[in-house]
Amino acid sequence: MKKASAFIAAAAMVLFCGTAGTAPAAESTTKNPYQGNQKIVKEGRKIFDENCKVCHGEGGKGDICPNLTLKKKKFGDTDADLFMTVSKGRPGGMPNWDARLGTEKIWKVITYIRSIEK
């Protein structure tokens, strides 16, 4: 019984927390490494157009989902807030993009979003 309980506890930890040693450094999800890089803005726009435009509209102006050209965002205004929103999703329609895009592409999309803010 103790072995089964230990197994269930370990499985729950992996399910809810991830595997040991794979958590990214805190800075990788809070500080945009591409901030202001115009080459990355172009790459971010391409990723945005391929994955985000269908809901957020041309240029991020908000068709079905929020307008991303506004500086005030629904779930927070910092780069870390945007990273959390894109990577983990939000209730009410925003899917989790972490598995599909990964950290690097998410930061590139955020760099593009910052470039279109008014």
**Which tokens is 103 given?**
């950290």
Question: What domain range includes position 83?
Answer: 28-116
Answer whether residue 79 is part of any domain: yes
Question: What gap in Å lies between CA 62 and CA 17, rounded to an integer?
Answer: 33
- pLDDT of 67 higher than 70: yes
What's 66's domain CATH number? 1.10.760.10
Q: For the chain, what is the domain count?
A: 1
Average model confidence (pLDDT) across the chain = 83
Answer whether residue 72 is part of any domain: yes
Q: Which of 109, 110, 86, 107 is nearest to 98 (CA)?
A: 86
The model's confidence at residue 63, banded by pLDDT at 50, 70 and 90, is: confident
Answer whether residue 23 is part of any domain: no
Answer whether residue 63 is part of any domain: yes
pLDDT in tens, 15-36: 333 333 344 456 788 899 999 9
Per the model's pLDDT, the better-predicted residue between 71 and 23 turns out to be 71
